[in-house]
Structure 1
Amino acid sequence: MYSWKTTKDILSRVRWFNLAILTVTPSIWIYGTRTTPLRTETLLWSMAYYVFTMIGITAGYHRLWSHRSYNASRFLQYLLIVMGASAVQGSVYWWARGHRSHHRYTDTPLDPYNAKRGFLYSHIGWMLIKPAVKPGHADISDLQNNDVVQWQHRHYFALIAVVGYLLPTVVAGLGWGDWWGGWFYAGMMRITLAHHSTFCINSVAHHLGESPFDDRKSARDHFFSALLTMGEGYHNFHHQFPMDYRNARKWYQYDPTKWFIASCAAVGLASHLRVFPENEISKSELTMELKRLKCEQDRIRWPPKLEELPIVSWETFQWQAETRRLVIVSGFIHDVSDFVDKHPGGERLLLKKVGKDATAAFCGGVYDHGNAAHNLLSMMRVGILLGGVEHVNTVAPGERLRIVERMSE
């Protein structure tokens, strides 16, 4: 049973301002859908202003100020910081501090939006309830010394009033006489969608997709997540290489934020676009591919180990070959009893070699057998001939590139 003290403690941890923004804003939008038809002009304006808003978050708040993945001219800094303010997600100073903490302490109790606490918590819960554990420390000295960031932080509420609520309404009102449509759709609908699109970076991008670079953290890569987040959905790449200005490194992957930054660089508004060395990216990819192949390798049956096979004299081999169909290839004794009637060349060729050394015939004397035949034959090993002369490598082709997990010393 909850006591009043427990209830009071829970209520004291509620972020009431955030709760109001995240509930009142969509409620006004929903009310607007019941009272004000959505005009085509307003829809197009809402979509355009949504892109304006999200680029402010992804290219500005995230890649510029949280990760310093490129340098921006003073004009571009002011533009991005105003664009980001229209999303009504807090100042850059607050936003970037939390995001740096998230990267430094990913999936731990010190992560402010820890995905290990569940999808709902990482999506929106962390915004509504103060954490029991204070988020981990992150260096924000550069943000403290950035006069553009500090200017926005000081005037944040005035900025969101203008670019978050007033501007989208005024444009629709003066432009085509749709004041209420501008308020409900370009204002409240856009802000709500921008909120949850950004939140998807913390939730969907940590639960949906693959881990092509490192699977020890929850961040995932997925095209659907990229669609939701203006290109931020290649999140496994981003968590491995956070200083890279790209989230999607391939030209065909959807990352409009990357294209925006590259375009700014082309016209001189951005510079020093940071790209992680391709050689090191390939190492991470190869590591995960080898790990995947190791799992596949471990599911396959392989020949018995040499130390598990008995060493048999020539006399014993010939004696046993009288009752079993045994042949020798490369010093190994093979029981081909179950394969005789399946031999592609006919069973007579195989029966002629029972009780004999068939190395020369198998390794090119009759037919130069391929990898599949060598692999299959190795599964029939039942012993090692004492003093047998091996003419080919004792390792079957399937094992020559075998992945071995090296234990740390």
Structure 2
Amino acid sequence: MSEQRSQPSDQPVTIQNWYKHINWSSTTLVLLVPAYGLYAAQYVPLTRATAIWGILLWSHRCYNARLPLRIFLAFVGAGAIQGSIRFWSSKHRAHHRWKDTSKDPYCALRGFFHAHLGWMVLQQDPKKIGRTDISDLDADPVVVWQHKHYGKSLMVAAWLFPMCVAGLGWSDWWGGLVYAGILRACFVQQATFCVNSLAHWLGEQPFDDRRTPRDHFITAIVTLGEGYHNFHHEFPSDYRNAISWYQYDPTKWLIYLLSKTTLAYDLKRFRHNEIEKGRLQQQQKALDARRVTLDWGLPLSQLPVVSWVEYQARCASGDAALIAITGIIHDVTDFITEHPGGKALIKGWVGKDATAGFNGGVYVHSNAAHNLLSTMRVGVLRGGQEVEVWKEERGVPGIKDKLGRVVVRVNEHVTNVRRLVGSAEAA
């Protein structure tokens, strides 16, 4: 059996073999040709008509389009000089299927340069790129034809067509080639590449933070609307990148308008209920991350059980000022001088059961008061309360702070019981 031929990407880069690591066809199209365009721009004046023509030649990709629109998009897509529909879509699907792994063709974890440009200009072992199903593309005659004749399509759509329009329209042949052809394609390329790089580095993650895709307005501006990448990766079957009316997404607007002409159809939207669930879950995750940094008091299960006699004896000794509320003993020694209601009032409850007074008999204490009280727990009282009841924590299921203490939501404190006597309200 013959030895398997090693790929250039598997070999270290040296002075002798550096050129083998370069994908020269891609490098020529995305670096060398644009470099020539920048050089030529020094000698070719930019006319207003050519500038407008160059701006109008931009490309978008959409699915479920009628034949005329598919042909048009195939032509304009070839002019973007980013590979055939089949090439680009297969890589894009692999990126979604294997994102942030070694099988991701433009994995952001390999660095900004690799995600932006390196994956195109450097050789990659095709066997290491994740496989995806592209049978639908192979069944589309427009995709098959464009892939087979991509080289010719590229030259016509990217350079010859814009040059002829400018030349025949207002006699600016060189301007059409340099500005509407070469440099226009260069700017479109860099904007599109930002979807793979910038959209995985800049912004927030409102729907999922387990992977690198992010949402940001700046990226949306740079990429003509594809900056809400966290949403796109979480709900890839949705034709929109941005779901709010104020978010910049011209691709969405274009596809929507085309659907009104029936050129595009079957526009897919992910269910709003699931989108909002994902958003809420991510917000809850962020809140939980903040919760665990706070002091919620010792868990009741870790507190010692103290009898009523022991409780009163300790108070009588003067070692600490203890108050029992709903069967939980609290050490208020350091809080007496800070009590908003005055020292005399709180001292009057030392060594007693202050449940009724704390919950309306004297004052209906605020949620902040319950939060503060939970940090003063020192024991669980045996007698008058069922100890086992208080050993069962009330709070957010499964959410504990960094010390293992249960996180409690508003009005769920164990010290917060039904109001016993109507009295002063909490501020």
Q: TM-score, normalised by structure 1?
A: 0.88
Whether 2:139 is the aligned partner of 1:145: answer: yes
Q: Residues of 2 paired with 1:172 and 1:339: CA distance?
A: 82
Cα-to-partner distance string for 1:28-66 (whole Å, 9 max, x where unaligned): 2221332233333322222122xxx222xxxx2xx42xx
Residue 179 (structure 1) shift: 2.6
Question: 2:351 corresponds to which letter in structure 1?
Answer: G
Residue 20 (structure 1) shift: 1.3
Counterpart of 2:381?
385
Q: Residues of 1 paired with 2:305 and 2:47: CA distance?
A: 86
Counterpart of 1:125?
118
Q: Residues of 2 paired with 1:93 and 1:327: CA distance?
A: 74
Gaps (5+ residues) in structure 2? Answer: 1-10, 401-427
Q: Residues of 2 paired with 1:367 and 1:402: CA distance?
A: 30
Does the C-alpha gap of structure 1 residues 209 and 181 become closer, same or farther in structure 2, counting only changes over 3 Å? same
Q: Residues of 2 paired with 1:314 and 1:29: CA distance?
A: 89
Whether 2:276 is the aligned partner of 1:268: answer: no
SS in 2 for 1:72: coil
**Does the 8 Å contact 1:109/1:133 carry over to 2?**
no
Counterpart of 2:211?
217
Q: Bigger CA drift: 196-205 or 153-162?
A: 153-162
Decide which of 299, 303, 320 is 2:297's aligned counterpart.
303
Whether 2:183 is the aligned partner of 1:185: answer: no
Q: Residues of 2 paired with 1:260 and 1:297: CA distance?
A: 43
Whether 2:359 is the aligned partner of 1:363: answer: yes
Decide which of 285, 297, 308 is 1:291's aligned counterpart.
285
Cα-to-partner distance string for 1:98-128 (whole Å, 9 max, x where unaligned): 2212221112222111212111011111111
**Does the 8 Å contact 1:312/1:386 carry over to 2?**
yes
Does the C-alpha gap of structure 1 residues 102 and 5 become closer, same or farther in structure 2, counting only changes over 3 Å? closer
RMSD, aligned CA: 2.4
Whether 2:314 is the aligned partner of 1:314: answer: no
Decide which of 230, 233, 256 is 2:224's aligned counterpart.
230
Cα-to-partner distance string for 1:273-304 (whole Å, 9 max, x where unaligned): 11111222223223322221221111011111
Decide which of 338, 343, 350 is 2:346's aligned counterpart.
350
Does the C-alpha gap of structure 1 residues 337 and 286 become closer, same or farther in structure 2, counting only changes over 3 Å? same
Q: Residues of 1 paired with 2:155 and 2:41: CA distance?
A: 22
Whether 2:325 is the aligned partner of 1:329: answer: yes
Whether 2:21 is the aligned partner of 1:21: answer: no
- Considering Cα pairs closer than 8 Å and 6+ residues apart, tell me whether 1 or 2 has the greater RCO: 1
Counterpart of 2:399?
404
Q: TM-score, normalised by structure 2?
A: 0.84
Q: Residues of 2 paired with 1:210 and 1:103: CA distance?
A: 19
Greater share of helix:
1
Decide which of 75, 79, 84 is 2:77's aligned counterpart.
84
**Does the 8 Å contact 1:330/1:389 carry over to 2?**
yes
Does the C-alpha gap of structure 1 residues 301 and 98 become closer, same or farther in structure 2, counting only changes over 3 Å? same
Whether 2:90 is the aligned partner of 1:102: answer: no
Q: Residues of 1 paired with 2:274 and 2:382: CA distance?
A: 49
Residue 266 (structure 1) shift: 1.2
Counterpart of 1:72?
65
Does the C-alpha gap of structure 1 residues 165 and 154 become closer, same or farther in structure 2, counting only changes over 3 Å? same
Q: Residues of 2 paired with 1:40 and 1:305: CA distance?
A: 73
Q: Residues of 2 paired with 1:333 and 1:209: CA distance?
A: 47
Residue 188 (structure 1) shift: 1.5
SS in 2 for 1:35: coil
